[in-house]
Amino acid sequence: MSLSVRHRRPNLAPEDEQEDSSSSYSKLDKPETTKQDTETGLNWRLPFIVLSILRYMSATSNIIHDCDESFNYWEPLHYLLYNSGFQTWEYSSEFALRSYLYTLLHALPAAPASWMFKEEKVRVFYSVRLFLGLLSAICETVLVVALSKKYGKRLAMYTLAMLCFTSGCFFASTSFLPSSFSMYAVTLSSALFLLDKPALAVLVAAAGVILGWPFSILVVLPVTIYSLISGRFQQVFLAGLATSLGILAFSVLTDHHFYKRWTSSVLNLVIYNVVGGGDSHLYGTEGTLFYLRNGFNNFNFCFILALLFPVILPITKKKYYPHLFVVVAPIFIWLIFMSLQPHKEERFLYPIYPLICVAAAAVIESFPDFFRYENSNDENTPCVMIAKILRPLVLSLILCASHGRTLSLLHGYSAPLEIYQHLELDDDTGEGSVVCVGSEWHRFPSSFFIPSHVGQVRWIDDGFRGLLPFPFNSTLGGTAAAPPYFNNKNRASDGQYLRDLETCTFLVELELQRPYPTRGSDLSTWEVLAALPYLDRELSPVAYRAFFIPHLWQQKNVFGKYKLLRRKPK
C-alpha cells in the first residue's frame, strides 16, 4: 500500500499539511522545503568557512589573467607604497581615466602589510589578494544565506557548491580589477534585495558602480528599478542618491589630490568609451559568440543551465518570480549588451559570475517540477524520482568539469608568477641590475615580484608596435604628470624600448617550439637560472588544453619553456 505525501513527511508545518484548493499556488510551484526551513535558512558559518577556504586557495594560486590588472592596478598601488612602478597612459593627468580612490581602497590592507614584511614585496601582493578573497567570501556568504531563507536550503547549497568550484568564480574572486569589485557589489546587492532590504541593496549597487566599474550600472538596473517601484520609493531613492553623490564627490577630491586638477575619472572613462569610441577598435575585436564560448569555458554546463532559466519560469513562476527573476535578469541584459561591443575581454563578464551560479542552481533544483502535475500528491512517479537523482549527478558533472578547467589554467599558465620569484633566490643579483623583458611584457606580474635590490625593469623591442607603460616619472610630477610620450591612440613611443641590450643583466623569455631563434638560445651570452613549462595554446588541441584530464593533459598538449636567464660574465 502506497503512502501519501502527508504520511511520509510528518514534519511539515500545519499550514503546509493541507492545500487550499482555491489557492493559485499549486504543489507544482512549491519548493521542497518547509516553511521552517525558509524562515531559518542556513547558518552563515558553513558557507563562510567553505568559501573562505576556497578563496584562500584562489588568493595563493590564482594567475594574472589580463595585463590590465598588472599595469592599471597593481603598478599604481606599488607606486603609492614604494614610489616606483609602471604608469599607463590612462593614469596620465591629461587623460585621467583611472580612479585613485579604487587603488586607495586596496592600500588599506597593503600599507600595513608593507610595514610588516618590509622588503618582501611579494608577500604584500598576496596580502592584498587575501583581502580580496575575504571580501568575496563575505558577499557570497550573504547571498547563500539569503537564498536559503527565501527559497530553501537545497537551492542555497547548490549555489554554494558552484560559487566554490566553478572556474569563473574561483579566478574572478581574487583578481585586482574593477569588474571583480563590481562583482562583489552585485553579489551583496542581490543578497540584500532577497532579504527584503531594498534601500541597502541600491546603496551597495551604487557603490559598486562608482567605486568599481561605471558600466556595471546595467547589471544592477533590474534590482534598482524593482526596488524603486516596490512601494518604498523615497527610502530607496534617497539611499541611492546620497551614496552616489557622496562617493562621486569623494572620488573627485581624490582625483584632484593625485592629478592636481579638477576632474572626474568616472566621467572621463564613460566619455572616452561612449563618445571617444577608440577603445573598441584599438585593442582588438572579437566575434559575437566570444562570450558564449568564454562562458562555457569558465562555467561549462552551469552556463548552459543558467541560460535556460527563462524556460523554467512558466513552470515555477510562483516560486521564482518575481524576485529571483529580477536577480538573474542581468545575465541576459549583460550578455546581449557586451556581445554587441566590438572589443571583448573575459573580465568584462565578472559582474554576472555569481548570478550564473544562482540561475543554474535554480534550474537544477527545479528538475522534478517538469514532471509534477498540478494538485498531484504523488512524489514517487518514476519521472520525478529520476529527476531528483539527476540533480546531484548534473551538479557533480559541473563541479568535476570546473575542477578540470581550474587545474588546466593553474598548471598551464602559472609560470610568469613563479619565474620572477627566482630573482630573490639569486645570490649574484646586485644593486642596479636590469631585468629585460621582450614579447612577454604583457605577462609581467607587477613590480611586487621584483626585489628591491634590482635596479629596474626595461622593455626590449621584439616587434610590438603599441604603446607600452613607462615608469612613473617623479621629475615630471609623479601622479600629477602628463608625460608627452603618452597618447590615447595606442601608438608606440620612441623611448619605450631599451636600445642598449648590453645593459641587460637578466632576461625573461618564452621559448616555444617555433622556427625562430630566441635571444636566450645564445648560450655564449646567457645562462638559464630557471625554466618552467608553459602551455602552448596554439599547438595544443582545444579538447585537451581546455580541461585538465590526468595523463592525457600532459601527453596531448605542447609546452614551451618560460625562462629567466642571466648574462654570463665576460
pLDDT of residue 377: 59
Decide if 515 is inside a domain.
yes
On whether both 452 and 380 belong to a single domain, the answer is no
Decide if 478 is inside a domain.
no
pLDDT of residue 360: 97
Percentage, residues of the chain above pLDDT 90: 74
Decide if 352 is inside a domain.
yes
Percent helix / strand / coil, the chain, rounded to 5: 60, 5, 30
Decide if 466 is inside a domain.
no
On whether both 106 and 52 belong to a single domain, the answer is yes
Q: Residue 229's pLDDT band (boundaries 50, 70, 90)? A: very high
On whether both 451 and 317 belong to a single domain, the answer is no
Nearest to 107 by CA among 90, 88, 82, 84: 82
Decide if 419 is inside a domain.
yes
- Residue finishing a domain among 359, 393, 413: 413
Average pLDDT over residues 435-439: 94
In this predicted structure, the answer to whether residue 40 has a pLDDT above a threshold of 90 is: no
CA 136 – CA 140 distance, rounded (Å): 6
Average pLDDT over residues 374-381: 65
pLDDT of residue 513: 83
On whether both 220 and 319 belong to a single domain, the answer is yes
Q: Return the CA Rg of the chain.
A: 26
Provide the whole-model pTM.
Answer: 0.91
pLDDT of residue 2: 37
In this predicted structure, the answer to whether residue 472 has a pLDDT above a threshold of 60 is: yes
pLDDT of residue 319: 87
Q: Residue 35's pLDDT band (boundaries 50, 70, 90)? A: low
On whether both 395 and 514 belong to a single domain, the answer is no
pLDDT of residue 372: 76
In this predicted structure, the answer to whether residue 25 has a pLDDT above a threshold of 80 is: no
Decide if 22 is inside a domain.
no
Summary mean pLDDT of the chain: 89
Average pLDDT over residues 533-546: 93
Decide if 8 is inside a domain.
no
The number of domains in the chain is 2
Q: Lowest-confidence range among 8-17, 158-167, 337-346?
A: 8-17
DSSP for 88-120, please give it: -GGGSTTT--S-HHHHHHHHHHHHHHHHHHTT-
Q: Which structural domain, as residue segments, surrounds residue 556?
A: 415-459+505-567
In this predicted structure, the answer to whether residue 18 has a pLDDT above a threshold of 70 is: no
pLDDT of residue 45: 93
pLDDT of residue 37: 52
On whether both 337 and 420 belong to a single domain, the answer is no
CA 303 – CA 243 distance, rounded (Å): 33
pLDDT single digits (tens) 55-75 = 999 999 999 999 999 999 999
On whether both 76 and 153 belong to a single domain, the answer is yes
Q: Say if strands 506-511 and 470-471 run parallel, antiparallel, or are unpaired.
A: unpaired
On whether both 400 and 454 belong to a single domain, the answer is no
In this predicted structure, the answer to whether residue 32 has a pLDDT above a threshold of 80 is: no
On whether both 390 and 439 belong to a single domain, the answer is no
Q: Residue 375's pLDDT band (boundaries 50, 70, 90)? A: low
pLDDT of residue 23: 31
494-497 own/partner pairs: CB under 8 Å, 24+ apart = 495/470, 496/459, 496/467, 496/468, 496/470, 497/458, 497/459, 497/460, 497/461, 497/468
On whether both 170 and 319 belong to a single domain, the answer is yes
Average pLDDT over residues 329-337: 96
Q: Which residue has the higher pLDDT, 284 or 269?
A: 269
On whether both 265 and 152 belong to a single domain, the answer is yes
Decide if 491 is inside a domain.
no
On whether both 354 and 426 belong to a single domain, the answer is no
Q: Say if strands 506-511 and 559-567 run parallel, antiparallel, or are unpaired.
A: antiparallel
CA 147 – CA 274 distance, rounded (Å): 36
